[in-house]
Structure 1
Amino acid sequence: MATTRVQLALDVDDIDEATAFYTRLFGVAPHKRRDGYTNFVIADPPLKLVLIENPGAGGGLNHLGVEAETSAQVDGALARFVEAGLQTRVAQQDVCCNAEQHKVFVTAPDVPLGFWEFYAVTDDNPANPEGASTSVCELSCAAGGGEQVSCCG
């Protein structure tokens, strides 16, 4: 059975300091480092930890998600959400956080930006990591975050 893990995306003031801290805390090296961005794939506890440098907003929650291993899992989750009557938005080739992803946004009350994202990484090193998409970044700006919201990448 393919695995899933909760994704926790945090705004941090200093990406280098935060990366060093979480490396020591979880005992694993970063999976990916880019300018202003780090992510960790942690086996125990199963967690995808994303750090987004956003000076002045450090310590805040950027967004929440669930990382699936396959696009089929995302499609299965979408079918379940639709059957449950949840409001969804699909982004099949989303380029966000320095990766191409197949994802579904689910509108949710009382969470940052008003949604959860369920996604699978389809290309962890795309040729155009800053490409246009319907991403958490675009939705953040559309939700009124403007200058307050750090876009991935």
Structure 2
Amino acid sequence: MTGTRIQLALNVDDIGEATAFYTRLFGVPPHKVRAGYANFVVTDPPLKLVLIENPGAPERLNHLGVEAPTAGDVTAALARFTAAGLDTTVAEQDVCCHAVQDKVFVAAPDVPHGWWEYYAVTDDDPSNPDGASTSVCAVSCAARDTADSTCCG
């Protein structure tokens, strides 16, 4: 990845059907596929599209984010957010969405789960990608989690 891109995470009813559709729509294969989860790294337009299988979810939009190229970019964004007086939560080496990430959650009105995440992937293939996690991501959206799914898959 060479630059910053917007992340759009969607709840989908059928991960296979959605993955096939977005492969055709954007003309690129998924970057990562796991049970109930897929993500795409789209160059044009610059987009990180995340699909989370969550049948019957009341909202199609799961969460919003900004994927930065490096953890240093996240640190710089945190400094900017703090200077602007924004309410933030930091999560370093957070295992979420089948990757290890450094991130900052920024409280925001009128968005799903009440926050944007600004993050950088530090390990796209962690040694235990499906293991239990104490992710801030999972904690932040625990109110919407069910026994079958969490907002971050």
C-alpha distance in structure 1 between counterparts of 2:57 and 2:23, whole Å: 21
Any runs of at least 4 consecutive aligned residues in structure 1 with deviations exceeding 4 A, and if so which? none
C-alpha distance in structure 2 between counterparts of 1:118 and 1:51, whole Å: 18
The percent identity for this pair of structures is: 65
User: Which residue of 1 is the match for residue 138 of structure 2?
Assistant: 137
Kept in 1, the 8 Å contact 2:42–2:49? The answer is yes
C-alpha distance in structure 2 between counterparts of 1:43 and 1:59, whole Å: 26
* 2:141 counterpart SS class: helix
The residue correspondences of 1:43-82 to structure 2 (distance < 5 A) are: 43-57=43-57, 60-82=60-82
TM normalised by structure 2 equals: 0.92
User: Which residue of 1 is the match for residue 17 of structure 2?
Assistant: 17
Q: Does structure 1 residue 125 correspond to structure 2 residue 138?
A: no
C-alpha distance in structure 1 between counterparts of 2:11 and 2:121, whole Å: 21
Distance change >3 Å, CA 31–CA 58, structure 1 → 2 = farther
One-letter amino acid matched to 2:57 = A
Kept in 1, the 8 Å contact 2:62–2:151? The answer is no
How far is the alpha carbon of 1:40 from its aligned partner? 0.1
User: Which residue of 1 is the match for residue 5 of structure 2?
Assistant: 5
How far is the alpha carbon of 1:150 from its aligned partner? 2.9
Kept in 2, the 8 Å contact 1:74–1:119? The answer is yes
* 1:77 counterpart SS class: helix
Q: Does structure 1 residue 85 correspond to structure 2 residue 105?
A: no
How far is the alpha carbon of 1:116 from its aligned partner? 0.2
Number of positions where the alignment pairs a residue of Structure 1 with one of Structure 2: 150
User: Over aligned residues, Cα RMSD in angstroms?
Assistant: 1.6
TM normalised by structure 1 equals: 0.92
